[in-house]
Chains A and B, each alone.
Chain A
């Protein structure tokens, strides 16, 4: 009996010590995807749909997912096309995934291109949204050619606070001018990388949409 008691005390102590020593970081993920809907990039939205479906299949109960369009002024909740905080119960989460997919399908069918591209505003909105969601691991996906075009008067020269965020640029297509001078493309990528890293975030580019598995790798 003494041995059993001793073993019980030891195991409880180990459990408490190991349990208390862990940081209480939520094990959930928060994903915010920005979809460029400006000009000719709207043609790429079919690809974006596939990416969204892939992300939906990857996310688990408790995770947060939002898809927002990038248009003239993206620092607005109105630009969020669909958002969901998946339920704890797997069956409910699956139902939410179906509804989310339907919403995106409707949006892609009826989307109209915008004249300007406010990516920075979209990122500010993404950070705000994900901070509120309070997920453990946050990822911002930018489905765009990363060519930012702001309407006159819009101020976006704001440092981003991306500490603990992972920013992934998807399907960064080359523009006609990039083909003439590839340095423009490379400079564009370098500028965004610098912007994200100076804000404390991690930067990655995934152009091959057949290799989406890597977008959540830490």
Chain B
């Protein structure tokens, strides 16, 4: 029986529709209470399930936040320890370099000061002592004599002459000794200057140490703040991680560009070694070989940087004893050097192949002149390609530094992204829960709207019978609904 035959109770479709409507409305009216309960139950189940899920997601978000914080603090602590360690190494180097020479410096300074002291003593000015016989002259001069006694006059004249002579001699000696003292003072100048220079050097060294100590103090403050786990340090580390992530990402992108150039440089000549038509997993074998060489170079570079303790991606390498580590440095460097030489050779081979291609194309297209014209300048491109082939592996070696920053900062960034995603998911679940609850309420209202006629009749009948308990049948639902909204 077709659906249209079931529908057509009477020949008139409008009448049939009307009958069906009445039947359905009556059926809905009869089933009203159970239908309301069912709709409400479904909406509550959905709402509660979503709320529980949201709570669970929020709990996961909190756990993730705590985990992110722990990781961030651990990374920050490690970085701060590393910086402080480096600062102490520098202080140690300064102390070893400058203060190890301090005894020699002290001896030099003492010698200079002794020399200055001796010179100073020598330069002390001693007033010339008057001749001893001056007192005798005074006694002779006091002898009472008569006026015009020529003998006394002669004696005094002789004494006078002797005095002038003695005075002249004393003056000359004094001048001579003064000159010597001046010479001594003059000779003291370079000693003073040297002392000043030595003291300046000592001052500089001490100031350098003081500056280092200030830097260490600052880093130690940061370290203490990180150890205490303050919010400020967390914000600082988080911001630093994001900056590191973007900067290292940019540098890595540049390195990838370099690796691609390197790849194009060696991919074609590799076909001379491994063939250019065989494929592995849809990729030509020569491209795979070129890629493998570049990746091996990068790996060697990373290990070399690790062995030099510039990066700390592999703690096992950093923990090796110095002798083994230095052996590894040489081993990695040798391999890198060998690969760089291979690349330079491949770059040369590429140029030869290109020239050969140009020659064969010129031959086949009857334009022999085209390949010969620029041949005098070909050495420039050949040299450039060989140079790039040799240098790029060493340049790619430094990719280890941004890679380390990228890996470390990526943990933080992924954590932040994860927290945001969980927060968004929790919000979505809550939204779906609330929407399902309100959809339930709306469905109840729509249900009642469809059967408004029997409800209205029921209300009239109940009003007539003044049955107050049942007249408010609609009210409890409303109360429940309002309560439901308030939740």
Binding site for B on A (CB under 8 A): 3-4, 15-16, 18-20, 22, 24, 26-28, 53-54, 56-57, 60-62, 88-91, 94, 97-98, 101
Q: Which of A22, A61, A90 has the most CB of B within 10 A?
A: A90
The verdict on B322 contacting chain A, using a C-beta distance below 8 Å, is: no
**Whole-angstrom distance between the alpha carbons of A4 and B365 in the complex?**
53
**Whole-angstrom distance between the alpha carbons of A89 and B278 in the complex?**
11
The verdict on B356 contacting chain A, using a C-beta distance below 8 Å, is: yes
Inside 8 A of B359's CB, which chain A residues have their CB? 94
**Do A22 and B281 have beta carbons less than 8 Å apart?**
yes
**Whole-angstrom distance between the alpha carbons of A97 and B284 in the complex?**
22
Q: Which of B275, B282, B360, B364 contacts A89 (CB 8 A)?
A: B275
Inside 8 A of A28's CB, which chain B residues have their CB? 277
B409 to chain A, nearest CB (A): 11
**Do A88 and B353 have beta carbons less than 8 Å apart?**
no
**Do B353 and A22 have beta carbons less than 8 Å apart?**
no
- Chain B 363-404: CB-based contact to A (< 8 A → 1; otherwise 0): 111100000000000000000000000000000000000000
A88 to chain B, nearest CB (A): 3
Inside 8 A of A53's CB, which chain B residues have their CB? 364-366
Q: Which of A3, A4, A56, A61 contacts B276 (CB 8 A)?
A: A61
In terms of DSSP, what is the predominant structure of the interface of chain A?
Answer: helix
Q: Which of B276, B283, B313, B410 contacts A90 (CB 8 A)?
A: B276
**Do B282 and A91 have beta carbons less than 8 Å apart?**
no
Q: Which of B282, B284, B353, B365 contacts A57 (CB 8 A)?
A: B365
The verdict on B272 contacting chain A, using a C-beta distance below 8 Å, is: yes
Q: Which of A15, A18, A26, A56 contacts B364 (CB 8 A)?
A: A56
Inside 8 A of B284's CB, which chain A residues have their CB? 27
**Do A57 and B364 have beta carbons less than 8 Å apart?**
yes
**Whole-angstrom distance between the alpha carbons of A88 and B277 in the complex?**
6
- A87's nearest neighbour on chain B, judged by CB, is B275
Q: Which of A16, A22, A54, A88 contacts B275 (CB 8 A)?
A: A88
Inside 8 A of B48's CB, which chain A residues have their CB? none
Inside 8 A of A24's CB, which chain B residues have their CB? 279, 282
**Whole-angstrom distance between the alpha carbons of A90 and B313 in the complex?**
41
A183 to chain B, nearest CB (A): 38
**Do A19 and B276 have beta carbons less than 8 Å apart?**
no
**Do B276 and A62 have beta carbons less than 8 Å apart?**
yes
The verdict on B268 contacting chain A, using a C-beta distance below 8 Å, is: yes
Inside 8 A of B279's CB, which chain A residues have their CB? 24, 26-27
Q: Which of B280, B281, B407 has the most CB of A within 10 A?
A: B281
Inside 8 A of B365's CB, which chain A residues have their CB? 53-54, 57
The verdict on B225 contacting chain A, using a C-beta distance below 8 Å, is: no
Q: Which of B275, B277, B366 contacts A27 (CB 8 A)?
A: B277
The verdict on B459 contacting chain A, using a C-beta distance below 8 Å, is: no
**Do B363 and A89 have beta carbons less than 8 Å apart?**
no
7 new A-B contacts, CB < 8 A, other than A89-B275, A94-B359, are A19-B281, A53-B366, A61-B275, A88-B278, A89-B276, A91-B356, A94-B357
Q: Which of A3, A15, A88, A90 contacts B357 (CB 8 A)?
A: A90
The verdict on B462 contacting chain A, using a C-beta distance below 8 Å, is: no
Q: Which of B268, B275, B360 has the most CB of A within 10 A?
A: B360
Q: Which of B272, B276, B278, B407 contacts A60 (CB 8 A)?
A: B276
Binding site for A on B (CB under 8 A): 268, 271-272, 275-284, 313, 352-353, 356-357, 359-361, 363-366, 407, 410-411
Inside 8 A of B360's CB, which chain A residues have their CB? 57, 94, 97-98
B379 to chain A, nearest CB (A): 20
A135 to chain B, nearest CB (A): 10
**Do A89 and B283 have beta carbons less than 8 Å apart?**
no
A146 to chain B, nearest CB (A): 27
17 contacts between A and B (CB under 8 A): A3-B407, A3-B410, A4-B407, A19-B282, A20-B281, A22-B282, A26-B277, A27-B279, A60-B276, A61-B276, A61-B277, A90-B276, A90-B357, A91-B352, A91-B353, A94-B357, A98-B360
* 6 A-B pairs with least C-beta separation: A19-B281, A62-B277, A88-B275, A22-B282, A53-B364, A57-B364
**Whole-angstrom distance between the alpha carbons of A23 and B440 in the complex?**
52
**Do A88 and B276 have beta carbons less than 8 Å apart?**
yes
Q: Which of A26, A54, A94 has the most CB of B within 10 A?
A: A94
Inside 8 A of B366's CB, which chain A residues have their CB? 53
**Whole-angstrom distance between the alpha carbons of A18 and B283 in the complex?**
11
B356 to chain A, nearest CB (A): 5
Inside 8 A of A54's CB, which chain B residues have their CB? 364-365
- B313's nearest neighbour on chain A, judged by CB, is A4
- A100's nearest neighbour on chain B, judged by CB, is B364
Inside 8 A of A4's CB, which chain B residues have their CB? 313, 407
B316 to chain A, nearest CB (A): 10
B241 to chain A, nearest CB (A): 13
Inside 8 A of A88's CB, which chain B residues have their CB? 271, 275-278
B36 to chain A, nearest CB (A): 51
Contacts A88-B277, A88-B278, A90-B353 given; does A101 touch B268 at CB 8 Å = no
Contacts A89-B271, A90-B353 given; does A101 touch B363 at CB 8 Å = yes
**Whole-angstrom distance between the alpha carbons of A1 and B445 in the complex?**
58
B357 to chain A, nearest CB (A): 7
**Whole-angstrom distance between the alpha carbons of A97 and B280 in the complex?**
27
Inside 8 A of B352's CB, which chain A residues have their CB? 91
**Do A89 and B361 have beta carbons less than 8 Å apart?**
no
Inside 8 A of A3's CB, which chain B residues have their CB? 407, 410-411
Inside 8 A of A27's CB, which chain B residues have their CB? 277, 279, 284
**Do B278 and A90 have beta carbons less than 8 Å apart?**
no
- A86's nearest neighbour on chain B, judged by CB, is B277
**Whole-angstrom distance between the alpha carbons of A19 and B144 in the complex?**
142
**Do A90 and B364 have beta carbons less than 8 Å apart?**
no
A57 to chain B, nearest CB (A): 4
- B411's nearest neighbour on chain A, judged by CB, is A3
**Whole-angstrom distance between the alpha carbons of A190 and B277 in the complex?**
37
**Whole-angstrom distance between the alpha carbons of A51 and B420 in the complex?**
63
**Whole-angstrom distance between the alpha carbons of A81 and B360 in the complex?**
21
Inside 8 A of B411's CB, which chain A residues have their CB? 3
A51 to chain B, nearest CB (A): 11
Inside 8 A of A90's CB, which chain B residues have their CB? 268, 271-272, 276, 353, 356-357
